[in-house]
Structure 1
Amino acid sequence: MLIADDEESIRWVLERACTQQGHSVVAVGNGTAALAELRARPFDVALIDIKMPDLSGLDVLQQAREARIDTLFIIMTAQNTMANAIEATKRGAYDYLTKPFDLEQVAALIARAMELRRLTHDLERLRGELEQRHDLVIGRTPAMQEVYKLIGRVAPTDATVLIQGETGTGKELIAKTIHYHSSRGGPFMALNCSAIPNELLESELFGYERGAFTGAVERRIGKFEAAAGGTLFLDEIADMPLALQAKVLRVLQEREFTRVGGRDAIRAEVRIIAATNQDLEAAMRAGRFREDLFFRLNVVRIAVPPLRERRADVPELIEFFLDKVNRELGTALVGVSAEARDLLLRHSWPGNVRELENALLRAAVLAGGRTLVPEDFALAGEPRQAAGDALPLEEAVRRRLAELLAADATALPSDLHALLISAVERPLIEVVLERAGGNQVKAAEMLGINRNTLRKKITELGIEIRRGTASR
């Protein structure tokens, strides 16, 4: 939970009382910091003072609601006026507290808010279970049926799971499916070990105490703590530094951890699912991965087959992704031609399901008609059809947008700009990373952006980095 008040004494009293009640607390001294914390991570409940020197509590509440942050807000005010109560309720506050307040009253109010959050999470979990069940059942081949059987057996347990598969095979989706089919009521949290600098990875996992290092002005909880009662998905576990592997091993063995700069052991009530696109046995032999950690993670192993080994699933995946493109971009595509279907069935798909999705998305944006044809696709390793007639990229995009706008303006989404930017941004970063051989410094230079900005984009867009020789 989050506490925001410019009076240090009130912050101290509330943080101490809430911690004694078993809540994980982040306390800040102004509205700007409160809003930054709300945007950085999920909170169940936020106690926000109505009057702060920069942003008022009501302003924080309004901006959080505009950003679709669903934290329950309790507004604290020194003036018990009807105007404050009405305004707080109008802006979406759960309740309000009048200073000076009784700590028992605060505890009771927080308990009611937490119970509401628990019920809401239960509903969201059930909804997510249905959605994930629909998403995953895209694949009827024997190889995928074996994956489904393993998920069904392991989901009801708390066993640690290791998912192995090439880039783009859907390892995170399988991890989410295991979580949503389990009885764990906590959140699903994911961390890509290759997308975060080594020096920051430990604090991301375990959190840190105030003063633990330069810039640590407030206590911050890590993924192990944020995922309490739920599942923590550690993607690209093979890229984790050896020193940190030892600390993760201790969590798996002792079921407890300590924040960076802290002394108290914190119980790790979390299930671990790890994933990698590398050969961990080879990494062990090379001394890059701890043998004892491997055996702790490898309780149940799920091997996700590459798309080239389940080509019979391609037609169903095409149908699913075209339906998704039509919903998200407001297009009215009816399918792919027989020739295009044959092309997609023949392709080797080194980027697997993600490459297929991106190929269909690019084709949908640039297509000249409602049925996709071979000329609409530019697949890696495949000759581009009608290359002499290809339009410059800017002109092709302009024509496709004009067709979208002319087709049916009422069917277009209201956030077309954001949708199209995101549709272009992900394949752009993936192509540049592939050309840079997975080197993020080189990729950032090619893109003309800051390396930290690139890392943030990689995490936000869920991009998996394929390491290897840069394309020439």
Structure 2
Amino acid sequence: MNHVLIVDDEANIRESLEEILREEGYGVASAPTAAEAKILIEDAPYDVVLLDIWLPDRDGLDVLQEIHQLPAETRPEVIMISGHGTIETAVKATKLGAYDFLEKPLSLDRTLIVLKNAVEARRLRSENLEFKRQFNVNSVLTGESVPLKALRQQIRLMAPTNGRVLIYGESGTGKELIARSIHAESLRRDRVFLELNCAAIPEAHIEAELFGVRHGASTGRTEQRGTLERADSGTLFLDEVGDMSLKTQAKVLSALDDQMFTPVGGTQPLRVDVRLIASTNKDLEEEIAKGNFREDLFYRLNVVPFSVPPLRERKEDIGPLVREFLNDFGRQYGRPRMEISNEALEVLHQYHWPGNVRELKNVIERVLILNPRALRIERKHLPPLTHKASVRTGDGFSSLQQARDAYERDYILKKIEEARNNVSRAAELLGLERSHLYRKMKALGISVRE
């Protein structure tokens, strides 16, 4: 439940807002003075404070300044309300940290929309703070390969600037983590980081998601603040920007030129200060040649290009990544520290990893879940896809005999698994004498506890 504090000296406003917000599912408290509000804020955390500018004992803007000095972890979003508001007052309140400004008499619909958006902003701020507590660019970009070291160095150099970044890389290489690492190392690290996946949002909705909607729009959607507006003073990450329609690309281009845009159905342009990071798994220059991507937008996004290498080009990072995933999933599932055998690691090295780091992470999680009693990942624990791929591609085999041994070993392990570690039964399935199978197992380094 989200908690709201109403600070207003007019009893009828407090009572009506309390009743309405409780019906909407909020936890609500109220205070008629700044002094009482201060006590309530010190006693319990609130997500949002609805704060009147005219209070009997204090100026509401002074109270706003005090709230804004609270630690980020406990600081609520503040929505100012006033019956005597002016543009100058609204601008001053925003500069002092107010989330938004509402004029009396309050519009119920607008109040609920602004409140909902403020709660969402508070949630995102909390998530960003938690992410930063756990975040370290060196641990996220795990590995010591030459391409990864160069990528980390590039992040340290470019993150403190406001230059736009375009991240190239296949699906699953960690483009979002690169974007987050740039934000975490930037001068905007204490502001919001928002992501918009251009490939996941239907074309009919992406403009509304990006630029927002105002009353009077023909979309039939309720009024909302767009991602670009909510990312003001922070970082906006446009994931898979190559999937944007040409119409949306034109609007993004216009917004980039002067950091101004008009919401869908709106008449007044909004100005924002947003650092833009984009990513793509497509060859945008090829898309330009096909007429699918605007060349002028490409040059505005491609100020600082980052290229994330696929996992198959930095296989020396597989071991460190696997150990990090084992530690992470071990903590997540309450399991003791798990190791991986050299043989299992060799199989992982032989695989091509078309799904990159994401696929490796999924494989490790699957192995850990399906083998709750194992303290070490062995070759037999790895999923069949990995075995087949390593044998099929032939990567890493220096001779035909080595490839035969690998195939034979995988096949025997599969039959032993089918026989539930009963070697006699496995020998029957293989059409071998039990003693012959034992000799094979010894030669191939297979150890089974029956």
TM-score, structure 2 as length reference: 0.66
Aligned pair in 2 of structure 1 residues 371, 222: CA closer, same or farther (>3 Å)? same
In the alignment, is residue 61 of structure 1 matched against residue 58 of structure 2? no
Separation in 2 of the partners of 1:213 and 1:249? 23
CA deviation profile, 1:375-397 (whole Å, cap 9, x unmatched): 22215363376445668xxxxxx
Q: Which of 7, 16, 19 is 1:52 aligned to?
A: 19
Aligned pair in 2 of structure 1 residues 97, 76: CA closer, same or farther (>3 Å)? farther
1:416-435 matches, within 5 Å, as none
Separation in 1 of the partners of 2:172 and 2:15? 42
Q: Which of 184, 202, 205 is 1:200 aligned to?
A: 205
Once superposed, what is the RMSD of the aligned Cα atoms?
3.8
Shift of 1:175: 0.7
Separation in 2 of the partners of 1:94 and 1:244? 34
Secondary structure of 1:211's counterpart equals coil
Shift of 1:138: 0.9
Q: Which of 379, 398, 419 is 1:374 aligned to?
A: 379
Separation in 1 of the partners of 2:163 and 2:27? 40
In the alignment, is residue 311 of structure 1 matched against residue 315 of structure 2? yes
CA contact (8 A) 1:50 1:77 kept: no
Q: Which residue of 1 aligns with 2:106?
A: none
Q: Which of 100, 108, 130 is 2:62 aligned to?
A: 108
Aligned pair in 2 of structure 1 residues 189, 339: CA closer, same or farther (>3 Å)? same
Residue segments in structure 2 that go unaligned for 5+ positions in a row = 76-124, 389-409, 419-450
CA contact (8 A) 1:155 1:179 kept: yes
CA contact (8 A) 1:179 1:231 kept: yes
Shift of 1:298: 0.7
Q: Which residue of 1 aligns with 2:267?
A: 263
Aligned pair in 2 of structure 1 residues 283, 269: CA closer, same or farther (>3 Å)? same
CA contact (8 A) 1:336 1:373 kept: yes
1:36-435 matches, within 5 Å, as 51-53=18-20, 55=22, 60-61=26-27, 75-76=29-30, 92-93=45-46, 102=55, 105-116=59-70, 128=132, 131-184=135-188, 185-217=190-222, 219-367=223-371, 368-378=373-383, 380=385, 382-383=387-388, 386-388=413-415
CA contact (8 A) 1:190 1:235 kept: yes
CA contact (8 A) 1:205 1:223 kept: yes
Shift of 1:3: 12
Aligned pair in 2 of structure 1 residues 137, 276: CA closer, same or farther (>3 Å)? closer
Secondary structure of 1:201's counterpart equals helix
CA contact (8 A) 2:4 2:26 kept: no
CA contact (8 A) 2:341 2:376 kept: yes
Number of equivalences: 337
CA contact (8 A) 1:171 1:275 kept: yes
Structure 1 residue identity aligned to 2:158: V
Shift of 1:5: 11
Separation in 1 of the partners of 2:293 and 2:246? 7
Shift of 1:158: 0.6
Shift of 1:204: 0.8
CA contact (8 A) 2:347 2:386 kept: no
Aligned pair in 2 of structure 1 residues 313, 49: CA closer, same or farther (>3 Å)? farther
Separation in 1 of the partners of 2:51 and 2:126? 31
CA contact (8 A) 1:79 1:99 kept: no
Structure 1 residue identity aligned to 2:300: R
Structure 1 residue identity aligned to 2:308: V
TM-score, structure 1 as length reference: 0.63
CA contact (8 A) 1:88 1:96 kept: no
Shift of 1:112: 2.6
Structure 2 residue identity aligned to 1:239: D
Question: Which stretch has the larger CA shift, 97-106 or 276-285?
Answer: 97-106
Shift of 1:80: 11
Aligned pair in 2 of structure 1 residues 351, 97: CA closer, same or farther (>3 Å)? closer
Residue segments in structure 1 that go unaligned for 5+ positions in a row = 15-46, 63-74, 392-472
CA contact (8 A) 1:77 1:97 kept: no
Shift of 1:76: 3.6
Identity %: 34
Separation in 2 of the partners of 1:148 and 1:81? 49
Shift of 1:228: 1.0
Separation in 2 of the partners of 1:95 and 1:147? 40
Aligned pair in 2 of structure 1 residues 213, 109: CA closer, same or farther (>3 Å)? farther
Secondary structure of 1:52's counterpart equals helix
Secondary structure of 1:55's counterpart equals helix
CA contact (8 A) 1:337 1:372 kept: yes
Q: Which residue of 1 aligns with 2:422?
A: none
Structure 1 residue identity aligned to 2:65: A
Question: Which stretch has the larger CA shift, 180-189 or 99-108?
Answer: 99-108
Please say which structure displays the higher CA radius of gyration.
2
CA deviation profile, 1:217-247 (whole Å, cap 9, x unmatched): 3x31111111111110000001011100000
Separation in 1 of the partners of 2:294 and 2:51? 54
CA deviation profile, 1:157-196 (whole Å, cap 9, x unmatched): 1111000001111111111111111111421111110111
CA contact (8 A) 2:246 2:293 kept: yes
